[in-house]
Each structure stands twice: as structure tokens, then as C-alpha cells.
A = this chain, B = another copy of it.
Amino acid sequence: MKQLRDTPLKRFLRDYRREHPVSEHHIALVLEDVEYPVNVGSVFRLADACGVDEIVLTGITATPPNPTLDKVARGKQRVVPWRYERDTRAAIGELREQGYTICALEITEESRPYHEAHYPSRICLVAGHEDHGVTAKTLALCDMAVFVPMYGKGRSLNVHVAVSVVCYHIRHTANVGRD
């Protein structure tokens, strides 16, 4: 096996995209109070890779331009549609009007393991602060919640890692649930 680089790599990825259009899922992300620029930057890079429609940054979430965020995002903050909305409630209201079902990435009594949930074709994932998670106010506005099972000693993944695992699952593997 030989690694592909440069033009052959570009061609390989482009051919794959042509033959395998993204699934029927439209994915939006709300980052509520995600404080560290490195996490927000990572989410931009992931969102570009995974074909996310839009990122809405709310509350104290770091926003571009920011040297750390921009570096970690590898320029994807200029590619992925995003906007800042101070009030998470307003952001969720607008996304719901656009037909998105609002899904918190959080552990609650009602949370389903992400790989067993049914995701409607327009799904908005809400991720929260590195330590405090999604706020109670925002959780009250969500239609559903999912979590990433933890099989070891830790109680959580890094927020951008959890978003990545769930986004790629939705993109490739999840069945479209009832809207």
C-alpha cells in the first residue's frame, strides 16, 4: 500500500465525494459557552470535514478571529457558515423554525446512547461548556439528548471529540428517524 499525497490525494478524496454524496442528514451545531478557542477551532475543522451546514456560537463561546482558534481550524472558519448569537434560546428558536430537531449532547436521565438514537433528517446538535456542559435553561429547550458511552475511568470526552464521534456517526451510519 502506498500513501497518497498532494494531487493524487486531492483526486482520491474528490472522486470519493462524487461517488458518495453526503447522506440525507443536514447537521447544524450550536456551541454554547465553549470557552477554549482550541475546541472551537477543532469543531470548525470537523464541521468542514463532515459536511456540517452551519455552526452557531452562543454565549461566551470563543469566536473568530482568534489566533488559536484560526490556527487549529486550519482556515475552516472561513469556509464553514457560522454566526454568533449571544442568546442560545434565540439561536435554537431560529434553527427550529428552519426545521431542525434540537439534540443536546449531554448526559441526562433521558439521554440515549448516540449510536442507538434516531436522528431526524435535519438535526441540530447542542454542545456546552468544557466543565459545565449544556445549561439547564438550554436543556429545557431541547427535543432529545444523546451521550457517548464511556467504558473506562473517565466521565467525559473532550467536547470537540464527542461532537466529532456523533457527527460522523450521523453522517455515515445513522438511520433517518421520524421527523
- Give the interface of A toward B (CB within 8 A): 1-4, 9-10, 12-13, 16-17, 20, 22, 42, 45-51, 74-76, 79-80, 104, 106-111, 113, 115, 133-134, 136, 139-140, 142, 145, 148-155, 157-158, 160-161, 164-165, 168-169, 171-173
Contact = CB atoms under 8 A, between A and B. Distances in A.
A49 B152 contact: yes
Contacts of A111: 1
Given A110-B1, A140-B1, A142-B1, A9 B155 contact: yes
Count of identical protomers in the assembly: 2
B104 A172 contact: no
Nearest to A79: B153
Nearest to A141: B1
A154 B4 contact: no
Nearest to A4: B107
B165 A45 contact: no
A158 B4 contact: no
Contact of A115 (B10, B42, B172): B172
A9 to B, nearest CB: 6
Contacts of A49: 148, 150-152, 154, 157
A75 B42 CA distance: 22
